Amino acid sequence: MAAMTRPRRKGNAALPKNLYRYHDARTDRTYYRYRDPRTGKFHGLGTDHTQAVADALALNAAILATLQSARIAAIATPVQTTSGPTLGRVILHHLERAEKLHERGRLADNTLKAKHSHGEAWRRRLGDRPIAEISVRDIAEALAGYIDQGKERAAQALRSEAIEIWKTALSEGWVDDNPPAKTRAITPEIKRARLTFEVFQAIYQQTGNTWLKNAMALALLTGQRREDIALAQFSEIHDGGWWCVQKKTGSRVFLPLQLRLDVFGQGLEEVVRQCRSTNILSRYIIHQTQPRGNSPVGSPIWKDTLTKAFHAEVLALGNDWESKQPPTFHELRSLAERLYAAQGNVNTQTLLGHRDPRSTALYKDTRGAEWVMVKVG
């Protein structure tokens, strides 16, 4: 019996295939977007329902014909050779699983897009080979081609996705080993400077931007990502803390109001009070304090606006970052982890919402921006 596909979410059920609607909390409007079934990439189709439906039907007619030909070619390849399925078939299965996770909100749009891109790269390279016959050497040679071109980050991402593809194959019993995991780990040269507390203080004191100062304080106190800071609402603060559902992973993190960063001299309760002190009626903790373009007073701050405003303040310092790029707003997350780790009374893995302690460990690396102190006794 053929496997049944998972039904679409209620809000998208009546729409043509590959057309999705979503509500933008910033503008309180409903938008439509089309997901290209070949790449997983979304394309905006505006706010007009009738036009979006017509465009989606036209796109389906144009794209699905070519997609069907490619899929027929993939299906024509034997599912089971004497050595098991080809890598191309495993990748197809791997991406189908990723699509289901995305539909359930457990996989971010950009993550899905990256999986499609990396999966396609591996399919082109080794897709017609039985996966069980692909060796560590085959994977290493493929990655070496990227490294030789100076594309270490691409090689690192491709290696990581290959490991996940082989994990999918392992879970289905198609292979007994994971060759990509046996290749040498790739560590690209880090080109972005870490944010130090001294630099944070300098920016915090120099900026005259009220909402940026509030966003910086909230990010440093909580260690949350910029999208969680940008969309945080006052209604999420109740019963003694901020009940944060992280947008990227869906992790649920409760941050008590008594959470305090001693070196900063403030606690979460004080920072929330500071954000309320604008005396502007808004649902959002970080909100516009003056009208800007199409954003009225009280509207949320778009995450990219956070990044740009912080970047402008960093450049205004006039620091020499040597061969590295200046730190970004995201570096506040790493700084929070390092400061709380030094303080010693906060579980930083829980704070950041990491399931894997190795993820937290990455934030501990100061990248040479801070002195390592030798402690005696």
CA dist., res. 338 & res. 363, Å (int): 7
Pairing state between β 252-256 and 266-267: unpaired
Q: Which one, of 321, 325, 341, 324, lies nearest residue 333 by Cα?
A: 341
Q: Is 363 a catalytic residue?
A: yes
Longest CA span, the chain: 73
Is the CB of residue 354 less than 8 Å from the CB of residue 180? no
The token pair at 299 is: 């509207």
Q: Is 248 a catalytic residue?
A: yes
> Which residue out of 225, 287, 303, 338 is catalytically annotated?
225
> Which residue out of 26, 97, 330, 367 is catalytically annotated?
330
Count of CB atoms within 10 A of residue 209's CB? 16
Radius of gyration (C-alpha) of the chain in whole angstroms: 24
Q: Is 354 a catalytic residue?
A: yes
Interior/surface letters 168-203, b for 16+ CB within 10 angstroms, e for the rest = bbeeeebbeebbbbebeebeeeeeebbbbbebbebb
User: Angle, to 10 degrees, between the axis of helix 197-206 and the axis of helix 331-343?
Assistant: 120
Is the CB of residue 254 less than 8 Å from the CB of residue 224? no
> Which residue out of 94, 102, 115, 354 is catalytically annotated?
354
Give the single-character DSSP code of 54. H
> Which residue out of 226, 333, 338, 340 is catalytically annotated?
333
Q: List C-alpha distances in Å: 377 to 343, 371, 374.
A: 18, 19, 10
> Which residue out of 248, 273, 308, 355 is catalytically annotated?
248
Give the single-character DSSP code of 325. B
Q: Is 303 a catalytic residue?
A: no
Is the CB of residue 284 less than 8 Å from the CB of residue 231? yes
> Within the chain, where are the H helices?
49-76, 87-103, 109-126, 136-148, 152-171, 179-182, 197-206, 210-222, 226-230, 268-276, 303-317, 331-343, 348-352, 357-364
Catalytic residue numbers, as ranges: 225, 248, 330, 333, 354, 363
